[in-house]
């Protein structure tokens, strides 16, 4: 029997050691695994408006993509599944936190074209109604924005992000349940059937598609394919742009090729707002971040805890104070404007502790006031629309992205040459500004935020639903941070929406006895019917990731 040479023995020992170390590592990692409760993820997650798009975003991450790759792919997908909310004919705001904790805001919402209708604001509706008409089309920023964030943070090749959506657009998707439900309402049905959107969303009898039908986007598939191959320039300087401009002109719009060519993405630092044990990073004006921070700043002073919702009296008082804060926020809406136009007001007072304290002293626990008390003199109209996607990747890159074409299907203008649905973003000036300038961003309620806690936790969250965004976000964050709810409960809890006339509107399911209590305090209850408030979020705490897509829009998150 041959003896083993010493180096062979050594080899075996070494192999044994490596084996032992590997086994210990496996044991530790499985212990860590067991630490994450069911339904949560260990590495990364995407919360988009639909399961299909969350999955597409997650697949990008699993193929080595960054959170930005995931967000772009999920949004492209959303332009098919929720085409009423966003698309490449619109714009977005991305709040991005890099691994070292630096938070930047990329604003590529639509801007006012060089030439626009004189006295545009005279066309603003006085009552709630969708603004149709070519005069409201702003310069789309979506693809320039994707290009900018992809250049900075992308890891997958640009065409890859478009692949799944091009395939779906060409082969078709089952009519998405939420879209089918929306199209089944008489207002939306006639809105679509009477407009050029009917080319995509109607059957051959010119009736809107419904559950069980297949929705295809053949023209959009072609455009997306070209953009995937040639880059955003195909849209901003090339043939797609030229075709789009022709269709916009046919629809009575004023955009020129020059407007597309000169579109620029704005990159700024996020504003940092302390919220007790957390720090919130908000997008500054023209985004709605300061309004959200203002409400939360006011509420922080009440030292809310889980017990603030226990018992009729405490619960009524909590919501009463929130409603008062929201009324003051309505009165401050006009301080949000594009800071690039220097004569405009700045909004930094909204995050100034002494201003917040001064306002809090004007909130009484036993009464409410007339609109003039809150400086709410000229109500703006309330809109709905928009989408949000939150993404957190394995490397710790976090993306909070809100994207829009403004109202439902924008202004209901479809470009037949390109398959693109156009925004009606300029309607966002209505009730919130007295003038409109070429190049200006309209004021927005969009407010994709990222919160970090002292213990290293992250919450990547944002909402949609036009002016309901601020309410939906403020209440979700209060519920999560202070009122003892899980992220799922925080988002699901019925909201109270204080509309632009300071009427108080309760989402179905809201506590009836609290409603009576609030009525008794003098609040006027409104009859708002469209609760399209939708909040999506991803949270990381103690190494586990919880991802929630709002069930109001039938959303489902994805992760691994």
Ligand X SMILES: *[C@@H]1O[C@H](CO)[C@@H](O)[C@H](O)[C@H]1NC(C)=O
- With contact defined as beta carbons under 8 Å apart, do 384 and 468 qualify? yes
Residue with tokens 């004189």: 118
From 177-185, 292-300, 352-360, 414-422, span contacting ligand X (CB under 6 A): 177-185
- Nearest C-alpha neighbor of 555 from the set 531, 541, 539, 537: 537
CA–CA separation, 525 vs 501, rounded Å?
A: 11
**Which C-beta is closer to ligand X: that of 181 or that of 246?**
181
Q: How far is the CB of 312 from ligand X (least distance, A)?
A: 18
Q: How far is the CB of 187 from ligand X (least distance, A)?
A: 12
394 backbone dihedrals φ, ψ, rounded to 5°: -65, -30
Q: How many CB atoms lie within 10 A of CB 134?
A: 19
317 backbone dihedrals φ, ψ, rounded to 5°: -65, -40
From 47-55, 68-76, 92-100, 480-488, span contacting ligand X (CB under 6 A): 92-100
**Which C-beta is closer to ligand X: that of 102 or that of 305?**
102
Binding-site member from 30, 63, 184, 203 for ligand X (CB under 6 A)? 184
Residue 312 interacting with ligand X (CB under 6 A): no
Query: 82-110: buried (b, 16+ CB within 10 Å) or exposed (e) per residue?
Result: bbbbbbbbbbbbbbbbeeeeebbbbbbbb
Quote the tokens at residue 467: 């002016």
Q: How far is the CB of 110 from ligand X (least distance, A)?
A: 26
Binding-site member from 51, 117, 160, 181 for ligand X (CB under 6 A)? 181
From 33-41, 215-223, 362-370, 420-428, span contacting ligand X (CB under 6 A): 362-370
**Which C-beta is closer to ligand X: that of 200 or that of 398?**
398
Q: How far is the CB of 322 from ligand X (least distance, A)?
A: 18
Quote the tokens at residue 555: 């959303």
Binding-site member from 19, 21, 99, 174 for ligand X (CB under 6 A)? 99
From 179-187, 233-241, 401-409, 524-532, span contacting ligand X (CB under 6 A): 179-187
Q: In what order do the strands lie in the sheet with 534-541?
A: 271-275, 278-282, 449-453, 458-464, 534-541, 544-548
Residue 42 interacting with ligand X (CB under 6 A): no
Q: How far is the CB of 183 from ligand X (least distance, A)?
A: 9
The count of residues interacting with ligand X (CB under 6 A) is 11
CA–CA separation, 487 vs 465, rounded Å?
A: 19
CA–CA separation, 165 vs 395, rounded Å?
A: 25
CA–CA separation, 94 vs 147, rounded Å?
A: 12
- With contact defined as beta carbons under 8 Å apart, do 417 and 113 qualify? no
**Which C-beta is closer to ligand X: that of 228 or that of 449?**
449
Residue 538: C-alpha distances to residues 182, 272, 505 (Å): 26, 19, 28
Beta bridge partners of 536: 462
Helix crossing, 239-250 with 218-230: angle to 10°? 140
Q: How far is the CB of 520 from ligand X (least distance, A)?
A: 11
Residue ranges of the alpha helices (H) in 82-185?
Answer: 142-153, 158-171, 177-183
Stretch 243-282: interaction string toward ligand X, x if CB under 6 A: ----------------------------------------
**Which C-beta is closer to ligand X: that of 211 or that of 305?**
211
Binding-site member from 2, 100, 434, 508 for ligand X (CB under 6 A)? 100
Binding-site member from 59, 62, 98, 237 for ligand X (CB under 6 A)? 98
CA–CA separation, 150 vs 130, rounded Å?
A: 33
CB-based contacts of 345: which residues, under 8 Å, 6+ apart?
A: 334, 335, 337
The verdict on whether 386 is a catalytic residue reads yes
Q: How many CB atoms lie within 10 A of CB 536?
A: 32
Residue with tokens 């992809």: 150
From 2-10, 279-287, 319-327, 360-368, span contacting ligand X (CB under 6 A): 360-368
Active-site residue (options: 386, 387, 404, 447): 386
**Which C-beta is closer to ligand X: that of 179 or that of 472?**
179
**Which C-beta is closer to ligand X: that of 104 or that of 333?**
104
Residue 211 interacting with ligand X (CB under 6 A): yes
Q: How far is the CB of 339 from ligand X (least distance, A)?
A: 20
- With contact defined as beta carbons under 8 Å apart, do 195 and 133 qualify? no
Residue 180 interacting with ligand X (CB under 6 A): yes
Residue 315 interacting with ligand X (CB under 6 A): no
- Nearest C-alpha neighbor of 471 from the set 291, 276, 318, 342: 291
Q: How far is the CB of 49 from ligand X (least distance, A)?
A: 18
Residue 102 interacting with ligand X (CB under 6 A): yes
Residue 364 interacting with ligand X (CB under 6 A): yes
Q: How far is the CB of 185 from ligand X (least distance, A)?
A: 8
Binding site for ligand X (CB under 6 A): 98-100, 102, 180-181, 184, 211, 364, 366-367
Catalytic residue ranges: 386
């Amino acid at each position: 029997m041959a003896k083993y040479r010493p180096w062979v023995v050594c080899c075996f020992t070494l192999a044994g050691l490596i084996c032992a170390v590997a086994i210990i590592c496996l044991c530790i990692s499985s212990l860590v695994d067991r630490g994450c409760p069911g339904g949560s993820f260990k590495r990364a997650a995407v919360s988009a408006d639909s399961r299909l798009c969350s999955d597409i975003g997650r697949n990008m991450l699993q193929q080595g993509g960054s959170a930005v790759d995931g967000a772009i792919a999920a949004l492209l997908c959303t332009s098919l599944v929720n085409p009423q909310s966003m698309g490449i004919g619109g714009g977005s705001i991305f709040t991005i936190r890099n691994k070292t904790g630096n938070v930047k805001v990329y604003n590529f919402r639509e801007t006012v074209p060089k030439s626009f209708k004189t006295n545009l604001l005279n066309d603003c509706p006085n009552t709630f109604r969708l603004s149709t008409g070519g005069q409201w089309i702003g310069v789309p920023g979506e693809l320039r924005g994707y290009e900018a964030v992809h250049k900075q943070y992308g890891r997958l090749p640009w065409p890859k992000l478009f692949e799944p959506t091009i395939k779906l657009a060409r082969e078709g998707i089952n009519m998405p349940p939420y879209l089918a439900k929306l199209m089944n309402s008489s207002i939306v049905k006639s809105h679509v059937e009477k407009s050029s959107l009917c080319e995509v969303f109607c059957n051959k009898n010119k009736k809107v598609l419904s559950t069980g039908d297949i929705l295809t986007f053949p023209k959009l598939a072609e455009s997306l394919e070209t953009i995937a191959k040639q880059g955003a320039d195909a849209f901003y300087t090339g043939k797609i742009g030229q075709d789009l401009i022709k269709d916009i002109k046919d629809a009575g719009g004023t955009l020129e090729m020059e407007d597309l060519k000169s579109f620029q993405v704005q990159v700024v630092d996020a504003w940092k707002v302390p919220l007790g044990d957390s720090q919130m990073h908000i997008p500054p004006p023209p985004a709605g971040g300061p309004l959200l921070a203002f409400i939360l700043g006011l509420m922080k002073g009440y030292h809310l805890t889980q017990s603030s919702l226990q018992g009729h009296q405490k619960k009524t008082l909590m919501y009463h104070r929130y409603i008062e804060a929201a009324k003051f926020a309505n009165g401050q809406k006009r301080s949000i404007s594009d800071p690039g136009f220097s004569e405009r007001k700045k909004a930094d007072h909204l995050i100034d502790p002494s201003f917040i304290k001064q306002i809090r002293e004007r909130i009484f626990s036993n009464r409410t006031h007339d609109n003039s008390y809150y400086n709410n003199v000229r109500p703006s109209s309330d809109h709905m629309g928009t989408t949000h996607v939150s993404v957190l990747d394995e490397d710790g890159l976090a993306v909070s992205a809100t994207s829009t074409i403004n109202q439902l299907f924008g202004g209901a203008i479809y470009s037949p040459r390109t398959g693109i649905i156009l925004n009606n973003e300029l309607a966002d000036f209505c009730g919130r500004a007295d003038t409109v300038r070429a190049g200006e961003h309209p004021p927005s309620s969009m407010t994709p935020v990222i919160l970090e806690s002292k213990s290293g936790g992250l919450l990547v969250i944002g909402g949609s639903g036009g002016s309901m965004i601020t309410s939906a976000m403020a209440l979700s964050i209060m519920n999560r941070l202070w009122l003892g709810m899980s992220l799922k409960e925080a988002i699901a809890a019925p909201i109270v929406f204080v509309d632009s006339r300071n009427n108080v509107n309760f989402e179905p399911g809201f506590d009836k006895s609290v409603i009576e209590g609030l009525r008794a305090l003098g609040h006027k209850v409104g009859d708002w019917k469209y609760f399209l408030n939708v909040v999506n979020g991803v949270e990381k705490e103690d190494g586990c990731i919880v991802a929630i897509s709002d069930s109001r829009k039938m959303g489902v998150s994805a992760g691994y």
